[in-house]
């Protein structure tokens, strides 16, 4: 009788006729594809919001950008924390410990609540925060109106991510994709109605855009909770079981893994925000070309980001079943897949680099010949940028599966800021290469960061490093027992 791939993922041997690398590739693609499509769905929702807000005028667009900046800084803090649900739950799945899977999700949901309440209240002070940074009062007031509706989306947004990570950890990420696909047209219709006062609803302009986003996030969260609670195979994990029970050891484990992930996200976001400021010094054409090239990179990035999340799960499952060769195989399969995808997309972008700017500029493309030419040049320079960007996100995801996040945080500081920003500024201004120099500097930073992550994963897995089973530390109590569960010895990641 043939052995199913599900059993293989949980610890059985590979089916006859299928080598372990080939099967690992198939499992990674199967897991990564719906996750990547879900991420692209998120981009589609953001794009439709921007299109609708754009009809309110350039002041509204500028205010929405300010509001999104304030929200994103807070959102990234929680996103890193709930990202830790994936390796913890995957480890429990690989070890065939369903209680650990449930507990990992439970502490992720609680962390979202505890962090989300103060950060939501802080969002409501957005106008004061923006005024402190020197923004114009009118722009700050408009951004505050948007944030008043948008701020409440933090917690449901994080819950959706935590629940989606749980689904991925048990090899069933598809329902999150269906929910996201259903949300895209709902978001468009609701935002249109609340912004412009259609279908009998009040016209709330920017406030309506924020309220629509919050309502859609609440709906996505509620739908995902229902699927996880009531539908197979998720309901056997009883995700809401013992929800009020404290689980401080695992909670702190989540924070230890997740806080550095938040730090890495912030360092990456910060260096690209700083690069935009540098481009602004060069003029409007340089800034616009940079945004076009960077938005193209962001769309492409969603696929390796999905592969990165799949790598976290596959490596975590191998850790849970005590399969040291499997952890190495899972990580390097994902790295090869991410690099191959970005290489093929880079070739496509290089061939269409003169047409892509026109997609963003529309009828204004002819009048913005300088921007189009510079954007095309940056897209060509981005050949290495795109590939290293894909490798770094997959490498980071593979290391998360090993619970290794603190050393990669140091690597992020070195790659993005010590090398990347320094080189971008130096090449762009003292050496006089302008926008092209800034992109070359960013590429150097990504190259260093990606190389360090791949080296780190190789070094750990070559020695057969496996972290201790999460939730098995001394004094941690199982859900249905008063006895501490057994733990494997923890070997230091440093050696």
Give 124-141 pLDDT, tens digit per residue: 888 888 888 777 788 888
Place of tokens 């991410």: 338
Higher-pLDDT residue of 160, 299: 160
Distance CA 272, CA 361 (A): 22
Question: Over 90: is that where the pLDDT of 336 sits?
Answer: yes
Distance CA 243, CA 280 (A): 49
Q: What is the mean pLDDT of residues 441-463?
A: 95
Distance CA 442, CA 423 (A): 7
- The pair of structure tokens assigned to 488 is 């494997």
Question: Over 90: is that where the pLDDT of 450 sits?
Answer: yes
Q: Which residues is 484 bridged to in the sheet? A: 477
Closest listed residue to residue 341, CA positions, set 303, 379, 382, 396: 303
Proportion of the chain above pLDDT 70, given as a percent: 89
Backbone angles phi, psi at 430, to 5 degrees: -55, -40
Q: Show the 3-state SS of 65-91.
A: HHHHHHHHHHHHHHHHHHHCHHHHHHH
Q: What is the mean pLDDT of residues 67-90?
A: 88
Q: How is 51-64 classified by DSSP, letter by letter?
A: HHHHTT-HHHHHHH
Q: Specify the pLDDT at position 163.
A: 94
Report the chain's mean pLDDT, rounded to a whole number.
84
Closest listed residue to residue 52, CA positions, set 197, 155, 167, 219: 197
Distance CA 81, CA 258 (A): 4
Distance CA 366, CA 358 (A): 9
Secondary structure class of 275 (helix, strand, coil): helix
pTM more than 0.85: no
Q: Show the 3-state SS of 84-125.
A: CHHHHHHHHHHCCCHHHHHHHHHHHHHHHHHHHHHHHHHHCC
Secondary structure class of 484 (helix, strand, coil): strand
Residue 489: pLDDT band by 50, 70, 90 thresholds?
Answer: very low
Q: What is the mean pLDDT of residues 175-184?
A: 93
Question: Over 60: is that where the pLDDT of 24 sits?
Answer: yes
Higher-pLDDT residue of 63, 153: 153
Q: What is the mean pLDDT of residues 249-277?
A: 90
Question: Over 90: is that where the pLDDT of 110 sits?
Answer: yes
Listed ranges 220-224, 290-294, 377-381; the one with the highest mean pLDDT: 220-224
Give the dihedral sign, CA 446/447/451/454.
Answer: positive
Q: What is the mean pLDDT of residues 43-68?
A: 78
With contact defined as beta carbons under 8 Å apart, do 320 and 469 qualify? yes
Distance CA 213, CA 424 (A): 35
Q: Specify the pLDDT at position 466.
A: 80
174, 180, 182, 307 from 37: Cα distances, Å: 10, 9, 13, 11
Distance CA 234, CA 223 (A): 13
Q: How is 462-481 classified by DSSP, letter by letter?
A: HTT--PPPTT-STT-B-TT-
Residue 282: pLDDT band by 50, 70, 90 thresholds?
Answer: confident
Distance CA 492, CA 495 (A): 5
Helices 248-282 and 58-83 sit at what angle, rounded to 10 degrees? 150
Q: How big is the CA angle at 210 (ends 205 and 213), to the nearest 5 degrees?
A: 125
Q: What is the mean pLDDT of residues 154-181?
A: 92
Q: Specify the pLDDT at position 360.
A: 67
What's 245's DSSP letter?
A: S
Region at 222 (left for phi over 0; alpha for psi -120 to 50; beta for the rest): alpha
Proportion of the chain above pLDDT 90, given as a percent: 43
Distance CA 265, CA 409 (A): 9
Pick from 34-43, 149-158, 232-241, 429-438: least confident? 232-241
Residue 366: pLDDT band by 50, 70, 90 thresholds?
Answer: low
Distance CA 471, CA 42 (A): 32
With contact defined as beta carbons under 8 Å apart, do 90 and 320 qualify? yes
Distance CA 75, CA 36 (A): 19
Distance CA 469, CA 317 (A): 11
Question: Over 80: is that where the pLDDT of 123 sits?
Answer: yes
Distance CA 343, CA 300 (A): 11
Question: Over 50: is that where the pLDDT of 1 sits?
Answer: no
């Amino acid at each position: 009788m043939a052995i199913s791939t599900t059993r293989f993922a949980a610890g059985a041997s590979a089916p006859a006729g299928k080598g372990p690398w080939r099967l690992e590739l198939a499992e990674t693609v199967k897991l990564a594809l719906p996750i990547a499509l879900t991420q692209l769905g998120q981009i589609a929702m953001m794009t439709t919001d921007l299109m609708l807000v754009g009809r309110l005028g350039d002041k509204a667009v500028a205010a929405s950008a300010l509001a999104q900046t304030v929200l994103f800084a807070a959102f990234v803090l929680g996103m890193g924390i709930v990202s830790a649900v994936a390796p913890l739950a995957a480890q429990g799945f690989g070890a065939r410990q369903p209680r650990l899977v449930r507990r990992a999700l439970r502490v992720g949901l609680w962390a979202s609540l505890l962090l989300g309440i103060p950060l939501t209240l802080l969002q409501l002070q957005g106008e004061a925060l923006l005024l402190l940074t020197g923004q114009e009062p009118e722009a700050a007031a408009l951004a505050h109106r948007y944030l008043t509706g948008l701020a409440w989306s933090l917690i449901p947004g994080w819950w959706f991510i935590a629940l989606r990570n749980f689904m991925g950890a048990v090899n069933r990420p598809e329902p999150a994709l269906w929910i996201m696909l259903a949300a895209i047209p709902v978001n468009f219709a609701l935002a249109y109605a609340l912004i412009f006062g259609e279908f009998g609803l009040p016209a709330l302009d920017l406030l309506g855009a924020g309220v629509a986003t919050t309502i859609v996030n609440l709906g996505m969260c509620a739908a995902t909770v229902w699927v996880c609670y009531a539908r197979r195979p998720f309901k056997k994990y009883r995700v809401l079981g013992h929800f009020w029970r404290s689980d401080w050891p695992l909670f702190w484990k989540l924070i230890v893994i997740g806080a550095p992930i938040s730090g890495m996200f912030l360092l990456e976001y910060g260096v690209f925000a700083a690069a935009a400021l540098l481009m602004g010094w060069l003029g409007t054409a340089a800034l616009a070309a940079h945004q076009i090239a960077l938005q193209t990179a962001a769309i492409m990035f969603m696929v390796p980001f999905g592969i990165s999340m799949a790598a976290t799960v596959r490596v975590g499952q191998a850790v849970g079943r005590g399969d040291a060769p499997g952890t190495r195989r899972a990580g390097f399969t994902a790295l090869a897949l991410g690099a191959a995808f970005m290489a093929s997309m880079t070739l496509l972008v290089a061939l269409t680099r003169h047409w892509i700017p026109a997609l963003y500029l529309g009828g204004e493309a002819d009048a913005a010949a300088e921007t189009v030419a510079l954007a095309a040049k940056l897209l060509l320079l981005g050949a290495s940028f795109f590939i290293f960007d894909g490798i770094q996100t997959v490498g980071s995801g593979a290391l998360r599966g090993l619970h290794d996040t603190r050393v990669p945080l140091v690597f992020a500081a070195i790659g993005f800021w010590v090398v990347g920003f320094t080189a971008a500024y130096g090449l762009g201004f003292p050496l006089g290469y302008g926008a092209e120099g800034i992109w070359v500097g960013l590429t150097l930073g990504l190259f260093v960061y990606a190389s360090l992550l791949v080296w780190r994963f190789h070094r750990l897995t070559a020695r057969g490093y496996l972290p201790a089973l999460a939730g098995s530390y001394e004094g941690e109590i199982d859900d249905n027992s008063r006895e501490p569960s057994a733990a494997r010895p923890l070997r230091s990641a440093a050696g």
